[in-house]
């Protein structure tokens, strides 16, 4: 992962993910619906719950990688994982899910800022961060 930089991840969390909801809210109702349809989610809260769930899993994996560099994570049934994330917020309003999403975003940001030089040399950590933050953002543009 030659192109990775901690600064890229921080910038993505601060600016791109940090303004995600605001940019969504600036879309017309029709544009919002088209976006959600393309993403495969019924409402914004479902999409945000999906992102927050993957961030949480990524943070857990990073903590394990720091302790056990050779750890091999179990495979994930992506569809089941995403369905569980959406089901977990079924009874919450979008505002409640946005609050949860923001909390997770800030947790991820603090984690990234706390990484030391040894952590930043780990290909596994760099890959995990790139997948969870940068690539995941690009998937949801």
pLDDT average, residue stretch 89-112: 97
Query: Which is more confident, 96 or 123?
Result: 96
Is residue 17 scored above 90 in pLDDT?
Answer: yes
Band of pLDDT at residue 2, cut at 50, 70 and 90: very low
What is the pTM for the complete model shown?
Answer: 0.92
Helix H or strand E encompassing 103: helix 94-114
pLDDT at 1: 44
pLDDT at 5: 84
Asked if 48 contacts 35 with a C-beta cutoff of 8 angstroms, the reply is no
| 118-134 pLDDT per residue, tens | 898 898 999 999 999 99
As a whole number of angstroms, the distance between CA 119 and CA 100 comes to 27
Q: Work out the percent of the chain whose per-residue pLDDT is above 70.
A: 97
pLDDT at 3: 62
């Amino acid at each position: 992962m030659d192109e990775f930089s901690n600064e890229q991840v921080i910038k993505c969390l601060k600016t791109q993910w940090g303004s995600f909801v605001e940019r969504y809210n600036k879309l017309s109702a029709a544009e919002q619906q088209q976006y959600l349809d393309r993403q495969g989610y019924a409402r914004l809260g479902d999409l945000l719950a999906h992102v927050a769930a993957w961030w949480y899993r990524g943070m857990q994996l990073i903590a394990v990688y720091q302790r056990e560099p050779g750890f091999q994570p179990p495979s994930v049934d992506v569809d089941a994982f995403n369905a569980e994330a959406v089901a977990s917020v079924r009874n919450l309003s979008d505002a409640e899910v946005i609050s949860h999403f923001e909390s997770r975003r800030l947790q991820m940001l603090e984690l990234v800022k706390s990484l030391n030089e040894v952590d930043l040399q780990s290909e596994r950590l760099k890959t995990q961060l790139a997948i969870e933050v940068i690539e995941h953002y690009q998937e949801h543009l």
